[in-house]
Chain A
Amino acid sequence: MKRTIFLKLATVALLAVVAVTGCRTKNPKNVTPIYGARTSVADDSRGDALTKLPTPKGPLDGITPGGTSGPSSNPAVGTAIPSGLTPGGIPGLTQQGGIPAADQGEFDGMPMDRSAFAANTIHFDYDKAIVKASELGKLQPVIAALKASRQNKLLIEGHCDERGTEEYNRALGERRALAIRAQLAKAGISPDRLRTTTLGEDKPAELGHTEAAWAKNRRGELVLLKPRN
């Protein structure tokens, strides 16, 4: 009798321990699992010298090849990301995060059709990455087309005007592309079908240094990706 009570207690205690430790080792919410560059690179092996896996050679002497020592050693896949962030995230900032991106390999070799949604380019305000309500209507035909042809995917290119510094603009272009992606995802398009890229200020729609030209250059272009056949 006493023994069974003890056993029950032990079981409860064991469960409690498992629950607690299980919680601790779980990935923080909203954090993308680590695939490591290896996986990502291997997904896109083209045999090109560029895509070969990094193999340290002589001239890179002195660079420890990703050893296990040091502050940022390679965490094994599946363990928690030691992001070091407190549960509340950065103080004063709302913790959010976006929708993780599908690997580039998912879009490989899909021919681009720039004309399909040429009329659906989304424009942005200066230094903003918010899809304005007035621009949302242009997304409806895109949503309809993507829902009708489930084999098709979409490349969203974010662009900026020439004001601002180049790297900032490059990040801003990506934020614009991601904002469009979020709108499409909200409308029910699987984010795995939506690839984002940024061209910063490198590919202006209109050359010129007037507000009119800049307004045209602050944009997100939508490029239809069809399976090759």
Chain B
Amino acid sequence: MNPNRSQLSSTNPMPRRAALAGLFFAAAAPLISRAQEPAFKVYGKADPSAPIPISLSGFTGEVATTLRFDLEVAGCAVVSAEQAAVLVHGTNGARLEGFVSDRAKNYLLSKAYTGASQRQLAHAFADDVIFALTQTRGIARTQVAFKVKAANNPGEIYVADYDGHAAAPITADHAIIAAPSWGPGSKWLAYTSYKLNNADVFSHNLDTGERHVVARYGGSNLSPSVAPGGRLVAMILSKGGKPDLYVADIHGRGLQQLTRSREGVASPCWSPDGQTICYVSSDDGPAQLYRIGANGGAAQRIRTTGVFNATEPDWSPDGKWIAVTTQRGGGFEICTVPAAGGDAQSLGTGQDATWAPNSRTLMFCKRGRGGPLSLSLLDVPTKRVKDVPLNLGNCSQPTWAR
């Protein structure tokens, strides 16, 4: 059926090294060493806006669908073997064997995966394919958290794989809840909960389920954003009379007020080095982006063109971009602006985007006609969107563990 595959399996008998037993699924045995070809190509570099044409063959069932989803989100277009620049093929049974070659049969990758569910094996292979092609780390095994609001429940926080699978609630409060933000290592989250009849900021340990108050001052305690490194939390408190930006440690100690706004500020996010906080301020009319040092100092406007009423900024992990929601006509669009300011690049309808650890993929919230909220994934260079299949109610406020 597939000439590549038959040729490969005949010339490359599977090694006995599957005896790497006990190792987790990522521990895979290299089958052949042809990967070290001298002419090494990084795909998608010349024109990042063009998807990498790949063919996918040999895989079945959940592995095939998972792999396809992962690779498409990562900027590949699945085409026929004749049109493909890269051939991805293999088999899945008790273990997954996967191969990546170019049209000239130069093998970029050949690996076997075992010791986890079919879905996890597929994710692991997908990450390796993306690394082999683009030299960037894949995101197929990352997690997201988001808010779910259903007809009979004002809100819970859920954690799921980035593709929406294995979604599980981490709260059972039946109270309004909002703005989850990951602590480092994906071990804890901060969020706003109305459980104690006010908008208060909590930290939530995902291993123990233990929760602690970070901020419960008079007024509202909103929009926690955990700093890279996890020692500090930026948040919006109105205790001083206006919604202003504050920073405290994760236990709420050492509270420091950073802004003194006339109208109010919202939606803080951190630069990846933890030195700067980006937020929006409504002091000069429609909301605009500002940045301020994590220790205070003078705030600076981030000057942008093509952004009107900027809300919900998120700073890319590589520090280069800020994804932000902008008003466009009656609706909202996701766009990216250079972190130092500049022209906005529009990425299409949506709101409240969060960066993946690869600084390339965004997850954002779509508001359908009539109000339902759902989550989608966006590959920024190719602007391709894939919906996240979730059937939980209104899903919004995604935040990517990174």
Contacts and interface: CB of A to CB of B under 8 A. Distances in A.
Interface in B270-315: 280-284, 286-287, 290, 293-299, 301, 309, 311-312
B236 A171 contact: yes
A162 interface: yes
B124 interface: no
A135 B232 CA distance: 41
Nearest to A35: B217
Interface stretch (B29-37, B51-59, B201-209): B201-209
Contacts of B283: 90, 93-94
B376 interface: no
B178 interface: yes
B253 A100 contact: no
A97 B243 CA distance: 9
Contact of A72 (B183, B202, B203, B249): B249
B13 interface: no
B351 A165 contact: yes
B371 A162 contact: yes
Given A100-B239, A101-B239, A175-B264, A83 B216 contact: no
B397 A167 contact: yes
Interface in B123-169: 147, 149, 154-155
A34 B330 CA distance: 41
B48 interface: no
Say what secondary structure dominates the interface of chain A.
Answer: loop
A65 B281 CA distance: 30
Interface string A90-112: 11111111111111101000000
Interface of A: 30-32, 34-38, 40-41, 44, 46, 48-57, 59-60, 62-66, 70-75, 81-86, 89-104, 106, 127, 129, 162-168, 170-172, 174-175, 178, 195-200, 202-203, 209
A116 B179 CA distance: 33
Interface string B207-225: 1101111111111101100
Contacts of A66: 249-251, 253-254
A69 to B, nearest CB: 10
B236 to A, nearest CB: 6
B344 to A, nearest CB: 16
Contact of B257 (A31, A86, A101): A31
A82 B294 CA distance: 12
Measured as residues with beta carbon below 8 angstroms from the partner, the interface class of chain B is 35 or more
Contacts of B367: 162
B213 A94 contact: no
B257 A197 contact: no
28 contacts: A37-B253, A41-B213, A44-B216, A48-B196, A51-B196, A54-B214, A57-B205, A63-B183, A63-B230, A65-B253, A72-B295, A83-B296, A84-B295, A85-B260, A90-B290, A91-B299, A165-B312, A168-B312, A170-B222, A170-B266, A171-B243, A172-B264, A174-B219, A175-B282, A178-B264, A196-B220, A209-B369, A209-B371
Nearest to B232: A72
Contact of B218 (A30, A89, A101): A101
B267 A171 contact: yes
Contact of A63 (B250, B287, B298): B250
A60 B206 CA distance: 10
A202 B222 CA distance: 14
A50 B203 CA distance: 10
A165 B332 contact: yes
Given A100-B240, A175-B243, A86 B263 contact: no
Contacts of A196: 219-220, 238
B176 A202 contact: yes
Given A62-B230, A71-B294, A178 B239 contact: no
Nearest to B230: A63
Interface string B241-273: 111000111111111111111111111000000
A166 B396 contact: yes
B185 interface: yes
B99 interface: no
A54 B223 contact: no
Contact of A167 (B196, B253, B311): B311
Given A40-B217, A51-B213, A175-B282, A60 B205 contact: yes
B195 interface: yes
A94 B285 CA distance: 13
B54 to A, nearest CB: 35
Given A37-B248, A65-B251, A196-B219, A32 B212 contact: no
A191 to B, nearest CB: 8
Contact of B241 (A57, A93, A178): A178
